[in-house]
Chains A and B, each alone.
Chain A
Amino acid sequence: MSDSCPTCGGRLEGTGSEGALCLRCAGVRVLEQEVSGGAGLPAGRSPEGRRIGHYELLEELGRGGMGRVFLARQDGLERIVALKVLPDSAAASPEAELRFQREARTVARLRHPHIVAIYDLGRADGCLYFSMEYIPGGDLARRLREQPPGPRAAAALLHPIAEALAYAHREGVLHRDLKPSNILLDGDQPRLADFGLAAELDPGADLTRTAVLLGTPHYLAPEALRDGSRSLSVASDLYAFGVVLFELLTGRTPYIGASPSELLALIAHSDPPAPRLLAPAVPRDLETICLKCLEREPAQRYAGAGALAEDLRRFLAGESILARRPRPWQVAARFARRHRAGVTAGAVVAAILILATAVSTALAVRATRAERRAATAAKASAEMSQFLRNVLEQAAPDQQPDRDLKLRTVLDNAARRINGQFADQPLVEADLRDTLAETYGSLGLFPEAETHLRRALALRQRALPPDDPATIAVMSSLASMLAEQDKFTEAETVDRAAIAAAERTLGPGDQVVLNSMNDLVFVYKGEGRLREAEAVAVQARDRALRALGPDDFQTRAAMNDLASIYFSEERYPESEKLNAAVLAADTRIDGPDSPTTLTSLSNLASVYWAEDKLQESEAVNLRLVDTRRRVLGPVHPDTLRSMHNLATTYFEEGKFAEAERWEKQDFAERRRTLPPDHRDVLSAELALAADELELGRAAEATALGTQALATLRRIAGPSHFMTRNAITVVARIFVRTGRLPEAETLERDSWRECARDLGPTARQTLVAESVLGDVLFREGRPAEAEPLLRHAWTARAASSPGGWQTLAVQSQLGGALAALGRAREAEALELPAYAGLAQQAAAIPGRSRGVVREAGERLIALYTATHRPADADAWRRRLTALAL
C-alpha cells in the first residue's frame, strides 16, 4: 500500500483502512477556496516549461475529462492564448480525428462578440490541441460561487449568450456542453467557450456516463438521458441554457439528487421546482422563461435560441414576454404524476412549490375580482409564501436528508402549523386550508380535505360579505368532497346553496355555477336519482356551450357528465356518441396522457363494455391500467377503477382466471384504502364473488356476495342498480349451489321492489322477473313461471326484438310451456330462439354464453317428452358438435 499522495507525491497522514489525508493538498484546497476571491487565474500546476507545437505552456488553467487547458504563449506572434490539449486517448481513430478537425474548423469560422474565438488547431507531440482567445476574467461558475447576480443582472448576463447561441445554431453548430464553466467573463461581458468539440471524437460515447464522470449531469437534457447523443439538438442546448439560468436565479441546479442515479432519475421523470419559491425575488416572467427552457419535452421549449433571446430582451425592456405559463391542467397533470404513495424529498419540494403557485394564482384571481383587496392579497401572498417556505425547509434535501419523507407527512406538518398562526388573518388561513384540502383531496385523503374545507368555509363566512365568490368556491369544493365520501344528502344541500348564491352574484353561466351543477349531477347520480341528474346535466351543458364554447374544459366536463347519465340510464348509443366526442376534444386539446383524456377513455371503455363490445373494452382498459399505473401510481383510486373495469371485461369475455387475478388485487387495495361500505369496495367484492363462482369456489363466492349485497341493501336501497347487480350475482350463486328457495325469495323481493321503484318494464325489473321465472321453473313450478316469463319476453321483444337476451327469455318461456304440456307453442318459440342465439353466440358475453346450450337442452327435453327420439338425438349431436 502506497503512503504517498497520488496528487502531489507528499506523505499521507493516516494509514490502514482509514482514509489517508495529504496535509499539503488539504491545505492547498482550503486556502485556494479562501484566496481565490481576488486571484485572476484558477489554480494550476506548473507545466514545467513544456511545449506543444509552437506553443510554450505557461500555466495550467484547468483540467477536465476532455483534456487540459493551459495558458500558453504562441511563438512568433508573442500572443497569449488558452490552449486546450486533448488527452492522447481521445482521438482513437483517424476517422474520429478527421471528424473532430472538420467540426473544429466549422467552430473556428464562428465570429461573434460573445463567442470565444478559436485561432488554430492541430496535432503535435502526440497531442491534439486547439488554441483560443484567452479570457482573463474567470468563468461564470466561479462568479456563481463568489457573488451570485440578482435576477435582472442574470438575465442581462445571459441575454448575449442566448444571442450567441442563436448565431451558432444558424451557422449549424450546436454547443452540446453549455454550463457555467463554459461561459467566460471578459469584464462584464460573457463569452461562450468550448463548443462541444470533444464530443465529436467519440460520438458513440455514453453521454450520460461521461457527464456523470465530469460532474456535469445537471446540464443534460432529459431526451439525452433517454436517447443518447443522437438526440442532441437545438432544444437540448436550450435546456442546458435553462439550467444555467436557473442556477443564476436560485443559486442551485434544478435537481438535487443524493446520488448520480437519483439525479438522473429526477431529470428524466420530474419537473423542476419553480425558481420563485427558491428565490422569491425572481420576477414571474423570468421564471416563465426559465421553465420554458426546462420543459421535459423538447417540443415544448422555445422554438429556437432566437426566440429565447427575444423573450430575454423583452423581459429586460419591461415588455411582456411571449412564452406562456403552463395551462392549469398541465400543472395538474404534473401534480398528479408526483402524487404517488411514497415520493422522495425532491418531489415533495416540487409539490409544495406547485402548492404555492396555486395559492398565488388563486390570490391573483381574487384580486382582479375585488380590486379593493388587491393590496391585502399581495401582503397575504407574501406571508403565505413565507409560510410555505417554512414548511418547505423541513423537506429541503440539503437541510435534512430524509429520503423517506412522504408528501403526506409534509401536508400534515403544514396542517399542524396553520393552527394559531394566522389568528388575525382569517382569509390567509382560509386560502391555505383551501389549498391543503385540494392537495389532500388529490391524494384521496377525503376526510382530511373535508375538515380543512369546513374550517375554510367558516372563516370566509365570518370575514366576508354574504355570497362572496371565495365563499361560494369553498362551498362547491366542500360539496364535491362530501359527494366523494358518499355523503350525498349534505352534499346536495351544500351544492344547491352554492348554485343559488353563485347565480345571484355571478350569473347563470359562470364557471362557479357550472362547477356546482356538475357536482350536483354527481350527487344525484350517486343517489340513483337519474332523471334529476339528467335534467341538471342537460342544463349545465347548454349553459356551458353558450357561455364558454365547445372546447372549454367546463363544457367538456358538462358533456362528460351527461354522457355518464345516459350511460346510467342505459341509453348507450347516445352515451357512446357523446363520450367519443369528448374524448376526441380532450385528446386534441389536452394531449393523450392528460387526466381528462384518460377519464374520457375510461368512460368510453365502460360504454363499450355495456354494449358488449368486449374486445374494444379490453384494449382500452389495458391501456388505461398501464397509463394510470405509470402516471398515478398503483393504488390511486383511478388506477384501481381501471383494474376493476379490466377485470370485468375479462369476466365478460369468459377469461375468468384473468378476471380473478386483477379483481383480487383491486379488492385488496380498495379495502385497505377506503371505508368498508364504500361503493367501490362493494363493487369489487361483488365482482370477485362472481369470479370465484365461475372458478368453482362456491363457498368463497357465497361469503363475498351475500356480504356485499347486505351492505348495498342497507346503504343504497333495494332498487339501486348496484343492489340489483348484487342480487343477480347472489341469485346465480344460489341457483348453482342448489339453494333454489333462497334464490326465489331474493328475486321475488327484488322484482317487486324494482317494479315499484322503476316501473314494470324497466330493464332491471325485467331481469328480476325473468330470473324469478327461471328459478320457479327449476323448482318445478312452470305454471307460476309462465306468466312472468311471457311478460318479460313481450316487454323485451318490444324494445329489442332480435336481442340475445330477448331470445334467451323466449327459450325459457318455451321451456315453461313444454312443461305445461303445450308442446306446439313451445316448439314455435324454442326453435327460432335457438337459431337466433346460435347465430349471435360470438356476441354473447362469456358469463351468459351458456344460454345457447340451455336453449338446445330445452329442445332435447321437449322432443324427449313428446316422444320424438330421432329429433332429440339429432339435437344431442348438434350440442355435442357445439361443445367441440
Chain B
Amino acid sequence: MLDARQASVRRREALERLCANYWLPLYAYLRRRGHAPADAEDLTQAFFGHLLATDFLERSDPEKGRFRGFLVGALKRFLGTHFTRENAAKRGGGAVDLVDWAAADAEAKFMPFAEAPLDASEVYERSWAYALIGRALRQLEAEQAGPEKARRFALLKAFLSAAPDRGDYDRAARALGATRANISLWVHRLSTRYAELVKLEVAATVRDPADVKDEMAHLLRVLRR
C-alpha cells in the first residue's frame, strides 16, 4: 500500500500527463464556445484543477470506457453546474499552473481549427484526433535516438503522410548516402512503428481493447471531415 504522499505524487504526475496530452481539445472546445483566449486558458486550467481535486482519475466510471467522450462530458458538466467566469478566475488563480501557457502557444495551435466551419463539439473531436496522432508522431520522433536516425527521420517523415513521387526516394537516398532500398525499408519501418504508436495512444483512451478499432474508425471519420 502506498502512503498518502506517494499516492499524491502519483496522482499529480498522472494529471500532468493528462494536461499535457489533452489541453488542446479542451481549449479548442472552449474557444469555439466563444470564450476569449485568456478565459479559455483559465477555464482549462480550472477544469484540470477540478479534476485534481476530485477522485476523477482513480474512480472507476463506466463513462470512462471512452475517455474522449468522458472528458468533454466532464468539461460540459463542470462548465454548466459549477462555473461562472468570475469564480473561474478566482479558482484558477489559486491553483498551480498545470499547463505552461506561455510555451503552449495555444492560439497558434487552435488556429487551424478556428478556420474550419465546425461547431464546438466537432472542433473538440478534430483537435482530439490531431492531438492524438501528433503525440504518436512525437513519440516516434523521440524513439529515433542518435543524430543519424534523427536526420533520417527529419527527411523521411514526409512519407508518413504522402506516398512518394517519382524520384523522391532516390533523392532521399542521395541525401542520406543510402540505397533506395534502404529508404524504402526505413519508411516502411517508420510507418509500421507509427501505426503501432497510434494504436497504443488510442488503446490508452478506451477501457475495452475490443473498442480500439471502433475508436480508430471514429478518429478516421473525424479526420476525413
Contacts and interface: CB of A to CB of B under 8 A. Distances in A.
Interface in B175-193: 179-182, 184-185, 191
A25 B198 contact: no
B206 interface: no
B179 A258 contact: yes
A505 B184 CA distance: 57
Nearest to B225: A46
A401 to B, nearest CB: 4
Majority DSSP secondary structure for residues of B touching A: helix
A25 B159 CA distance: 10
A30 B157 contact: no
A668 interface: no
A27 to B, nearest CB: 4
B132 to A, nearest CB: 8
A317 interface: no
B134 interface: yes
A22 B180 CA distance: 23
Contact of B158 (A21, A35, A37, A397): A21
Given A30-B194, A33-B195, A45-B224, A403 B181 contact: yes
A466 interface: no
B217 interface: yes
B22 to A, nearest CB: 17
Which of B137, B180, B194, B224 has the largest number of chain A CB atoms within 10 A? B224
A23 B133 contact: yes
Contacts, number: 102
Interface in A6-31: 6-7, 10-11, 13-14, 18-31
Contact of A14 (B134, B157, B216, B224): B157
Given A23-B130, A25-B162, A26-B194, A35 B216 contact: yes
B213 A37 contact: yes
Contacts of A37: 213
B11 interface: no
A21 B161 contact: yes
A23 B137 contact: yes
Interface string B24-53: 000000000000000000000000000000
B185 A30 contact: no
Interface size range of chain A in the complex: 35 or more
B170 interface: yes
B68 to A, nearest CB: 14
Nearest to A43: B224
Interface string A32-48: 11110111000001000
Contacts of B162: 5-7, 22, 25
A749 interface: no
Contact of A26 (B160, B180, B199, B220): B160
A24 B194 contact: no
Interface in B143-190: 154-162, 166, 170, 172, 179-182, 184-185
A213 interface: yes
A490 interface: no
B223 interface: yes
Nearest to A260: B166
A15 B224 CA distance: 24
Contacts of A11: 112
Given A31-B198, A401-B181, A401-B185, A21 B223 contact: no
A574 interface: no
B219 interface: yes
B213 A10 contact: no
A403 B181 CA distance: 9
A88 to B, nearest CB: 21
A19 B157 contact: yes
B155 A19 contact: yes
B120 interface: no
Contact of A19 (B133, B134, B156, B213): B156
B130 A27 contact: yes
A35 B159 contact: no
A834 to B, nearest CB: 71
Contacts of A6: 162
Nearest to B130: A23
Contacts of A397: 181
Nearest to A38: B213
A29 B158 CA distance: 12
Contact of B198 (A19, A20, A27, A38): A27
A19 B156 CA distance: 6
Contacts of A39: 217
Contacts of B133: 23, 26-27, 30
A456 to B, nearest CB: 37
Interface in A145-200: none
Given A31-B216, A31-B223, A401 B179 contact: yes
5 contacts: A6-B162, A18-B154, A24-B223, A35-B216, A38-B217
Given A21-B160, A259-B170, A403-B181, 18 more contacts: A6-B162, A7-B162, A13-B137, A14-B158, A18-B158, A23-B137, A25-B162, A26-B137, A27-B198, A28-B220, A29-B161, A30-B191, A30-B195, A30-B198, A31-B216, A34-B199, A401-B179, A403-B179
Interface of B: 112, 129-130, 133-134, 137, 154-162, 166, 170, 172, 179-182, 184-185, 191, 194-195, 198-199, 213, 216-217, 219-220, 223-224
Interface of A: 5-7, 10-11, 13-14, 18-35, 37-39, 45, 213, 258-259, 397-398, 401, 403
- For the complex of A and B, 10 pairs with smallest distance between CB atoms: A19-B158, A258-B181, A27-B133, A26-B161, A25-B161, A401-B181, A31-B220, A22-B161, A26-B160, A18-B154
